A and B are shown apart, each in its own frame.
Chain A
């Protein structure tokens, strides 16, 4: 048994997960925590999040064999090793959705798709460009403008009957587009669905570019947005493109979980290389 921890430092929040790893069939998530960064010192957020995860798992700090980071590792002084985000998300996605052969990671500022094999090896990936159009951040500010809470977005969007397309490429100009829509009396569900569809279009483009088919584990914060998932499924169906998206309740933790699993893997490898002495 290897006790490992994964800490995923994102742009929006820190996620931590503790995994009890006994190899393929005996891998368990012991506990986890998420901490929003906004307004906090990053180091404090990391510390708070890690403590919370330890507490949730009922594990002592000293008992952890390997602390693996992903994301911004500089702010985790107690890390043992680091894995890059796509390595981690692929592995985490596979853990949560064992049938998946791809992970779609949608976070505050980025979208990435990762094609992998049945062992979580990254085969190909695509990511959105530096321009922030269609990111979670954008959705967040628009929904605030519309007076919609984050957890209402999905449900509202699914109620749309005549979604209104967003034309601007730029997120900021799209904001004005949206204001324009409100002024034309377009309903909130139709606006949200329009945004979802435009994000969906972009993400599907990535998915196609990475030549992904079959089951896709959705990871990252926006996996919780059922409206986006529904929009993607619809948009894919419309393009006659088979897409089986599988969000998971723990999707936001995928990066942290994946890092923890790889950490355990490295830990075993290292202890084999250097027998206890």
Chain B
């Protein structure tokens, strides 16, 4: 097989968007743009666009540091100033990067925040994270407490509570920092654009129901969700990006093509897999290659839902902007209770006709990981399909043991193969 690097127009487009964003960040001070640090899950991008602020996402910096092999030394730096080995490495990676001058992925120093917008959806660690950042920056913090969907639904009270906080805490702080008044119509406009892009994203993700799947919904998926989950949702650029992406994916479906991977086109789909849990960033390509080598394609993943579960029907609603933002925050994947997460995985296995499912358990992330072993059992029971379980970390290179992961994946795929050949024997 020839391994040519395939670059589709959408990829170029995304690259440009990101480069442009970092350029704007670098020039933020010159242009008097205000910088807001905030998180991906439950991000309030449309609202922030309404105030003309520029977001910085610490988790994205951390994952980029992981991919650029810098996270190891950043984590070490944070541990040197007293952080425990045990805690979330995203936080430590971010702190370490800060200690090292806060140089972003483009090699330029990131601007300091004018506001820390702590929307704390799906994870308590976010709260600690911003408490820690607050110690280093002299800027206000807007805290948005998003309750947990403990009983599988976002109640009226929860929505009202979050919307009230947007009104009384988040918007006033944004106004105070930017000097811009809240303009409901501007936010609505962005939401309208979000909707369109959200439809296209869902179409792209659901294209994986085809056989062969034209996309990898995990490794490839993290690129597809990039603009939607970060600075761009609600922008024209994002709208254009998703239109383009969708047409490319449609074309691959029509041509009966498999997904594009760094190793080239995957032309033989041998296993269709659903994955739960974030990927590992320090060995991202190596990890992907382990799937590629076995002909395994991820057809659905939960990680691509951490910034919104659009495929389950949610859309931003310009008619109720604040309530809709509240519903969005409440609905992010890690804010769902375990029974809902089990249902979602089981549905994916069925809807995407998967051969197996895998849990990538992340040492850092209690929010994702605590309970995954119980989920495993329940998903197996619900689908009758055995699951696989591997343990890695997001950005701590010490916790990625290639031989170990490989051994487990290999054993798992061999087991799936043995299973399907066994079943053939029986039906023959």
Contacts and interface: CB of A to CB of B under 8 A. Distances in A.
B2 interface: no
Nearest to B403: A167
Nearest to B81: A209
B405 to A, nearest CB: 13
A178 to B, nearest CB: 15
Contact of B398 (A129, A169, A209): A169
Contacts of A169: 398
Contacts of B398: 169
A208 interface: yes
Secondary structure class of chain A's binding surface, majority of residues: loop
A208 B401 CA distance: 26
A168 B404 CA distance: 11
Interface residues of A, number: 7
B80 interface: yes
A49 to B, nearest CB: 37
A205 interface: yes
A253 B182 CA distance: 72
B83 to A, nearest CB: 10
Contact of B80 (A167, A168, A209): A209
Contacts of B380: none
Interface residues of B, number: 7
B17 interface: no
B391 interface: no
Contacts of B79: 205, 209
Contacts of A129: 85
B282 to A, nearest CB: 14
Contacts of A209: 79-80, 82
Nearest to A209: B80
Interface in A189-208: 205, 208
Interface string A163-183: 000011100000000000000
Contacts of B401: 167-168
Nearest to A210: B80
Interface in B79-121: 79-80, 82, 85
Interface string A155-169: 000000000000111
A167 B401 CA distance: 9
Most buried by B among A129, A168, A209: A209
A129 B401 CA distance: 20
Contacts of B240: none
B89 to A, nearest CB: 15
B95 to A, nearest CB: 15
Interface string A112-140: 00000000000000000100000000000
A129 B76 CA distance: 16
Contacts of B80: 205, 208-209
A168 B82 CA distance: 24
Nearest to B85: A129
A126 B76 CA distance: 15
A208 B398 CA distance: 19
A228 B76 CA distance: 22
Contacts of A168: 401
Nearest to B79: A209
Contacts of B76: 205
A181 to B, nearest CB: 14
A241 to B, nearest CB: 11
A169 B393 CA distance: 15
B406 to A, nearest CB: 13
Interface in B167-220: none
A168 B398 CA distance: 9
A10 B372 CA distance: 42
Most buried by A among B76, B82, B85, B398: B76
Nearest to A169: B398
B239 to A, nearest CB: 46
Contacts of A167: 401
11 contacts: A129-B85, A167-B401, A168-B401, A169-B398, A205-B76, A205-B79, A205-B80, A208-B80, A209-B79, A209-B80, A209-B82
9 A-B pairs closest in CB distance: A208-B80, A209-B80, A169-B398, A209-B79, A205-B76, A205-B79, A205-B80, A209-B82, A167-B401
Interface of B: 76, 79-80, 82, 85, 398, 401
Interface of A: 129, 167-169, 205, 208-209
Given A205-B79, A205-B80, A208-B80, 8 more contacts: A129-B85, A167-B401, A168-B401, A169-B398, A205-B76, A209-B79, A209-B80, A209-B82
